[in-house]
Amino acid sequence: MPRRSPRRLRAGAPAGSGDAVSTLLIGTCPGPPACTAVHTYLFVDGLDVITRSDRRMAGLAPGRLLHPGGPLHPTDAPRTVAVAAEVGPDPGPDRLTVRVRLRGGTVVWSDLMYPGADDMVVDEVRFRLDQYLGEIERARTALVAAP
């Protein structure tokens, strides 16, 4: 299944800028027959963070990441969240992780290392809390409603 999203551009400064606000879009692969398993895709400003970070990885199961109060939900205390694992018959030992924390009305993902739209390394992104939580809920609801 192709990993493409509508182009969603960051409002404000260019990719990788510390003060810019990003947009999160969450997609899922439906699993067989299109793919070997159900995967989560995380698009930040229209870029597939998982593929751009490490092409060997595939997003973890959406039920694991998107449930209410799940690992992607931010808390005041920073936490490291596995979002992807090596592709293969069985997930490999390598994991792709992001550090998620809540800072006021902003969700911050850090410890990233992927090329942005301008090929500069993105190491941190920030989301408006309402957009971020709304997107997690939208994706979770879509997953539950899927046949």
| 34 against 97, higher pLDDT | 97
Structure tokens at 92: 């490999």
Bridge partners (DSSP) of residue 11 are 21
**For position 39, what pLDDT does the model report?**
83
**For position 144, what pLDDT does the model report?**
77
- 37: closest CA among 93, 86, 95? 86
pLDDT digits (tens, 9 = 90+) for 16-62: 445 689 999 999 877 677 666 678 999 999 999 999 999 888 899 88
* Least confident piece of the model among 3-12, 115-124, 132-141: 3-12
Distance CA 131, CA 118 (A): 24
Confidence of residue 15 (pLDDT cuts 50, 70, 90): very low
Mean pLDDT (the chain) is 83
**For position 92, what pLDDT does the model report?**
58
pLDDT digits (tens, 9 = 90+) for 67-80: 889 999 999 999 99
